[in-house]
Structure 1
Amino acid sequence: MGAGAIAAQGGAPDTWWYPGSGKTFAASQDYPNAQGTLRVQVEGGAVKTRGHAFFEPLGANGRACVTCHQPADAMSLSAATAQQRWTASNGHDPLFAAIDGSNCPILPQDQRASHSLLLERGLFRVQLPWPMTAWNGRPVTPDFDIEVVRDPNGCNSAPGYGPKAGNISVYRRPRPVANMKYLLAVGFVFDPKQGFALPLSPEDGRMMSGNIMADNRAGTLRIQMQDAAHGHLQAGKPLTDAQVRQITDFEMRVFTAQQTDAHGNDLSSMGANGGPNHLRVSAPGALGAIGTPVWSEFAAWEKLSPEQAATLTPKQLEFRKSVARGARVFREKMFLITDSAGINSRIGFGNPVRNSCVFCHNMSQMGNDVAPGQVDLGTTTMPFADSMPDLPLFRITCRGRPHPHYGRVIYTMDPGFAMTSGKCADVGKITLQSMRGLSARAPFFSNGLARDLRGIVDYYDRRYSIGYTEQEKQDLVNLMSVL
Structure 2
Amino acid sequence: MAAFNFRPMMWPIAAAAILATVGIAQPPSPPPDRWWKPDEGRRFPAVLDYENDYGVLRTLLIGGPIETRDHAFFRAIGPDGRACVTCHQPADGMSLSAASVQHQWQAVGPRDPLFAAYDGSNCPSLPQQDRASHSLLIDHGLIRIARPWPPLDQNRKPVKADFTIEVVRDPTGCNLDPQWGIDSARHQISVFRRPRPVANFKYIEAMGFAYDPKAGMPLPVDPDTGKPVSGNLMADGRVLSLQSQMREAAGTHLQFMKAMDRKDIAQILDFESRLYVAQQTDRVGGALEADGAEGGPRKLADSPAGRLGSQGVAIWSEFAAWEKPAAIVKDGSAQTAFRQSVARGARLFRDRTFLITDSAGITSPVGFGNPVRNGCAFCHNMSQMGMDVAPGQVDLGTTNQPFADPAPHLPLFRIRCLGKPHPHYGKMILTSDPGYALTTGRCADVGRITLQTLRGLSARAPYFSNGSARDLRGIIDYYDRRYDIRYTEQEKQDMVNLLKSL
Alignment of 1:20 onto 2:62:
no
Tell me the alpha carbon deviations over residues 419-438 of structure 1, each in whole angstroms, 9 at most, x when there is no partner.
00000000000000010000
SS at match of 1:420: helix
What are the residue-to-residue correspondences of 1:366-405 with 2, within 5 Å?
A: 366-405=385-424
* Mapped partners of 1:314, 1:330: distance in 2: 24
3-state SS in 2 of match to 1:364: coil
**Identity percentage of aligned residues:** 60
1:434 matched to 2:434? The reply is no
Rate the CA distance shift 1:331–1:8 in 2: closer, same or farther, 3 A. Answer: farther
Q: Where in structure 1 are there 5+ consecutive unaligned residues?
A: 1-6
* Alignment partner, residue 263 of structure 2: 242
Query: 2:203 — aligned with what?
Result: 182
> What is the rounded CA distance, in whole Å, between the counterparts of 1:410 and 1:174 in structure 2?
25
Counterpart contact for 1:382–1:412, Cα < 8 Å: yes
Q: Distance in 2 between matches of 1:33 and 1:58?
A: 30
Please give the residue correspondences for 1:76-95 in structure 2 after superposition, counting only pairs within 5 Å: 76-95=95-114
Contact 1:8 1:33 in 2 (8 A): no
Q: TM-score, normalised on structure 1?
A: 0.96
Alpha-carbon shift at residue 313 of structure 1 (Å): 6.5
Tell me how far apart the structure 2 counterparts of residues 478 and 346 of structure 1 sit (CA, whole Å): 34
Query: Does 2:231 correspond to 1:210?
Result: yes
- The Cα shift of 1:302 comes to 1.2
1:66 matched to 2:85? The reply is: yes
**Are 2:355 and 1:355 equivalent residues in the alignment?**
no
Code of the residue aligned with 1:463 in structure 2: it is R
State the alpha-carbon separation in 2 of the partners of residues 80 and 375 from structure 1: 28
Tell me what 2:136 maps to: 117
**Alignment-derived partner of residue 3 in structure 1:** none
What CA distance in whole angstroms lies between the structure 2 residues aligned with 1:25 and 1:368? 27
Shift of 1:264: 5.3
**In structure 2, how many angstroms separate the alpha carbons of the residues matched to 1:288 and 1:124?**
33
Q: CA deviation at 1:68?
A: 0.2
Is contact 2:416–2:428 with CA below 8 Å preserved after alignment? yes
Deviation per CA, 1:1-41, whole angstroms, max 9, x where unpaired? xxxxxx97553694210101111110001100011000000
Structure 2 partner of 1:96: 115
Offset of residue 214 of structure 1? 0.3
* Residue in 2 that maps onto 1:329: 348
Please tell me the residue identity of whatever aligns with 1:200. V
- Flag the 1:9–1:461 CA change in 2: closer, same or farther, 3 A: farther
- 3-state SS, counterpart of residue 103 of structure 2: helix
Corresponding position of 2:434: 415
Give, in angstroms, the shift of residue 133 of structure 1. 1.0
**1:42-101 superposed Cα distances (whole Å, 9 cap, x missing partner):** 111201111110000111111100000000100000000000000110332110111111
Specify the alignment match of 2:309 in structure 1: 287
Alignment of 1:256-335 (within 5 A): 256-263=277-284, 265-284=286-305, 285-289=307-311, 291-305=312-326, 308-309=328-329, 314-335=333-354
Deviation at 1:200, TM superposition (A): 2.3
Q: Which amino acid aligns with 1:109?
A: Q
SS in 2 for 1:286: coil
Q: Distance in 1 between matches of 2:416 and 2:87?
A: 34
Unmatched 5+ stretches in structure 2 = 12-31
Q: Which secondary structure state, in structure 1, belongs to the residue aligned with residue 364 of structure 2?
A: coil
The CA distance in 1 between the partners of 2:442 and 2:7, in whole Å, is: 39
Where 2:464 maps in the other structure, the secondary structure is coil
Between the aligned partners of 1:295 and 1:21, the Cα distance in structure 2 is 38
Provide Cα deviations, 1:112-165, integer angstroms capped at 9, x if missing partner: 111110111100001110001123433211000000000011110011232212
**1:107 equivalent in structure 2:** 126
Q: Distance in 2 between matches of 1:162 and 1:108?
A: 17
CA distance in 2, matches of 1:116, 1:100: 12
Q: 1:42 aligns with which of 35, 38, 61?
A: 61
SS of alignment partner, residue 99 of structure 1: helix
Scaled by the length of structure 2, what TM-score is found? 0.92
1:127 match: 146
Q: Contact (CA 8 Å) 1:98, 1:109: kept in 2 or not?
A: yes
Q: Is the 8 A contact 2:121 2:136 kept in 1?
A: yes
- Residue aligning to 2:25: none
Q: Spell out, residue by residue over 1:349-400, the C-alpha distance to the aligned partner (whole angstroms, 9 max, x if none).
A: 1100000001100000000101110000000010000111010000000000
1:398-451 deviation digits (Å, cap 9, x = unpaired):
000000000000000000000000000000000000100000000000000000
* Displacement after TM superposition at 1:203 (Å): 2.9
**Amino acid corresponding to residue 155 of structure 1 in structure 2:** C
The one-letter amino acid paired with 2:376 is C
